[in-house]
Structure 1
């Protein structure tokens, strides 16, 4: 892969709430690494560098539209009451955010807005294909000659806190969308944003004089707060002297992004009009609901501490009518019967609410983010980190920015001009220069399930089993690398030697596990989770019960590479570690 020319790098930022693409040619990168062609999406008077991550499928499951087009098409269908036959998905990326121990399956299904099930990988693949095809139309307009597929390298961004299974799922979806495996790199979102900001002078929004991330001295550490629609990734990077970064604190975070605010808005409406009314409104008056969602999204981006005392936004008459029919009361009386009597008012098709109500919708998201950032700074090794770099679409929120400034007055808070597209732009640099991140820190201990000769008094009797060579102990956790270990990109290769346990064994199966513990003993301990399997086929099996196979795993990149070598025949193979089962 590295030997192939990369004349063009295309980046796809597949976000929970918004997605987009960008590209740069090799000669453009060499002149200015920050130079990029970024798609600008139009929705009436609104223009954005990313489009909503929503996809509309035809009743037969084929692609219809994506982004703003999908929203508009779906609203039109809803107006004619035809939308229930179609599939409309939004925020579906969160289906891949799973805590340790929760499985992501290759054939899993996800629910659309109406609750109808559809294969998840097909939804992701069609979304990626749309973004790829849309980008290539613009690339074609820029070219005089022909660009061959192997001259294009693709970068697909994912949250740093995603599991290996989620990364593999996205890689397989991209393959289904037509991107060859060798032409694809998975990039971590906060790393991509950090790389971009290292190449771009960025003004600090704090009261101090202007500063840049790009000219920080070697050894300087800074926190990257990547706040997106779904997740908030928090990591710490350290400046290296070769125009690269190293990870100084392993990525961590949670699902506290912008859609948590959206959920709080839904909860507010449910409390105001009642659960049944809201569910009916969402189902029967879909067009009005989608208009309301878009209006709320605009208000969410605008509201700030110094905003007017009351915030006004559209409130559909259809929702008022449904509520009055259900409760047999006038809507002002309905509001008066809730805890919002003094802070919410509805007139005609407008709702006026105290900005305190609006602030409350941000509360849980902001509180969770700030609390987690504080816990990271409690690490003694990070006490000298004085810079917080805020990136990601949710970082554009004035309320989140204000909260970070208030919680960390002694820190310099740096926000690039376009926080939402910094991941895209950095992904292009990462595509041209894959070794821009030199070191990473492992979040888990990685190992395999092996057996060893049984030792009386040491191994538990419940794990004893018999082989051609005597009794052995099963379910032992053999570590390849340990939690918190520093691994170098492209260099950290760990080799282990494994032997067959039976004569004429034709295949060796290895099950891989991760653990939250640094030195686990057995694979069935608390905190251990199976992440995948590899199968190694052995040619010409014989009566040797101790035939040796070398397995090497390369860590340090965004994904794990596994190679196996049969010591008897010398056969080497790159093995796919299947995280999806």
Structure 2
């Protein structure tokens, strides 16, 4: 897996993520040392937050990146971002929650259902929680979302720049003046959060005008204002000094596809069975501070109470610390998929399709059987275990392999069905061959933010505790 840097050079994704995590780790350890706390790496429980819509493989990738950054495997927990934000808001006083000061606010009362809308830079992450009588939270709807976070608005702004000066010149700008290019999008980031829905006229945006117009003269033969005059935006954009002045309606149109996508996602969740009585919406994440987003959601859902915590961008960060102290605050989660193990069992013509018939050591077996562990949309308490007894097929194999599969179907029969995807595997060494196969007990852990397995080879008593290799 590779990423392209600002000059389009390819870099290993694992290196980029691990170095970013390492910078944060080093920063904290330096502060602790300067303050004379004597706190070391091994003394710290590290919490790494990820979007809830990320796959199990993506979570495993983050764990691997953290390991490469020096965080011990046993000292790391993965926290899901909308969950962390939801936990944080349980501890906030009402005066810290914009929209909650009205009479009837009940988000922290037992039985209350509310939707968490986590709008970050890259993703929009939606889930629904119910407050329990013991103070914990139950997940009523597994995470739903897509890539309609704040950077998708940046993407629409980039398209406008491309239509003005052309893709080749934008690429030259990136390569020759990466600092100016980054400054342009940082400025856009600041402006896009502060646009008021009632604003009229123009939006002013600082741009690296000298650098851009110089490149336009060299590569297009004209200055930037002259290039703009030939574009479809000549009546909606103008320049004054180093400012780009954008018509407010055009700026709102830059946001529209992203806002429409977020609202469509929210509507689809609220239309789900059993969620008709969700009356409160909790907006968190950096992009939720955008006033245009807040206004559009309030307009679309006038009968829902929209609640926004102070410093919504920090809700995930602060909630992750609370999650570290109380990892079982979320007491149950909805399964995003049907999970199962691929098996080979003795062939039964009354049950099995003949195309899956194989011979192993002279015996007939059915391959690619989907042995279901949990079902899609099933509510699974945190810390749930599922115990199974398996036998290694044949008497001469030196290893046995657990191949993990997921499916969007409730009851898949074979692992090669269209609804199924291979998730990962765990290889277990086996002791000396023996007649009748070699039994293996397996204990699967579900309901947490990650899936894990403890496997024990009965004959030798050897135990293997591991997360699946999902990368």
TM-score (normalizing by structure 1)? 0.77
Residue 359 of structure 1 is matched in structure 2 by 252
Counterpart contact for 1:200–1:213, Cα < 8 Å: no
Residue 443 of structure 2 is matched in structure 1 by 552
Aligned residues between the structures: 469
The 2-side partners of 1:509 and 1:291 are apart by: 50
Deviations 1:256-284, CA, capped at 9 Å, x for gaps: 00000111111110011222222222222
Shift of 1:344: 1.3
Counterpart contact for 2:345–2:367, Cα < 8 Å: yes
Counterpart contact for 2:237–2:244, Cα < 8 Å: yes
Residue 442 of structure 1 is matched in structure 2 by 335
1:187 aligned residue (51, 55, 79): 79
TM-score (normalizing by structure 2)? 0.95
Asked whether 1:513 is paired with 2:392, we answer no
The 2-side partners of 1:245 and 1:512 are apart by: 29
Residue 243 of structure 1 is matched in structure 2 by 135
Counterpart contact for 2:6–2:174, Cα < 8 Å: no
Deviations 1:167-226, CA, capped at 9 Å, x for gaps: 111111111111111111110000000001011124554497166566x32111100000
Cα separation, partners in 2 of 1:253 and 1:335, compared to 1, 3 Å: same
Shift of 1:393: 0.5
Residue 81 of structure 1 is matched in structure 2 by none
Residue 150 of structure 1 is matched in structure 2 by 42
The 1-side partners of 2:138 and 2:237 are apart by: 49
Cα separation, partners in 2 of 1:202 and 1:263, compared to 1, 3 Å: farther
Shift of 1:238: 0.6
Shift of 1:559: 0.7
Residue 575 of structure 1 is matched in structure 2 by 466
Asked whether 1:384 is paired with 2:277, we answer yes
Asked whether 1:501 is paired with 2:393, we answer yes
The 1-side partners of 2:169 and 2:249 are apart by: 25
Counterpart contact for 2:32–2:39, Cα < 8 Å: no
Counterpart contact for 1:480–1:496, Cα < 8 Å: no
The 2-side partners of 1:282 and 1:274 are apart by: 13
The 2-side partners of 1:323 and 1:147 are apart by: 54
How is 1:199-218 mapped onto 2 (pairs within 5 angstroms)? 199-203=91-95, 205-206=98-99, 209=102, 216-218=108-110
Deviations 1:314-363, CA, capped at 9 Å, x for gaps: 23133234334544456545333332222111233222110111111111
The 1-side partners of 2:106 and 2:11 are apart by: 44
Deviations 1:408-439, CA, capped at 9 Å, x for gaps: 11100000001111111111111111111110
The 2-side partners of 1:268 and 1:262 are apart by: 10
Select between 451-460 and 555-564 the one with higher mean Cα deviation: 451-460
How is 1:304-323 mapped onto 2 (pairs within 5 angstroms)? 304-315=196-207, 316-323=209-216
Residue 338 of structure 1 is matched in structure 2 by 231
The 2-side partners of 1:253 and 1:207 are apart by: 25
Paired residue secondary structure (1:200): coil
The 2-side partners of 1:291 and 1:501 are apart by: 60
2:117 aligned residue (218, 225, 233): 225
The 2-side partners of 1:576 and 1:313 are apart by: 48
The 1-side partners of 2:213 and 2:397 are apart by: 72
Counterpart contact for 1:202–1:213, Cα < 8 Å: no
Asked whether 1:538 is paired with 2:418, we answer no
Consecutive unaligned residues of structure 1, counting only runs of 5 or more, are 1-107
Asked whether 1:168 is paired with 2:60, we answer yes
Paired residue secondary structure (1:434): coil
Consecutive unaligned residues of structure 2, counting only runs of 5 or more, are none
Residue 171 of structure 2 is matched in structure 1 by 279
The 2-side partners of 1:132 and 1:545 are apart by: 51
Residue 417 of structure 2 is matched in structure 1 by 525
Select between 416-425 and 356-365 the one with higher mean Cα deviation: 356-365
Residue 433 of structure 1 is matched in structure 2 by 326
Cα separation, partners in 2 of 1:149 and 1:319, compared to 1, 3 Å: closer
Paired residue secondary structure (1:534): strand
Deviations 1:377-409, CA, capped at 9 Å, x for gaps: 111310000000000000111111111111111
Residue 140 of structure 1 is matched in structure 2 by 33
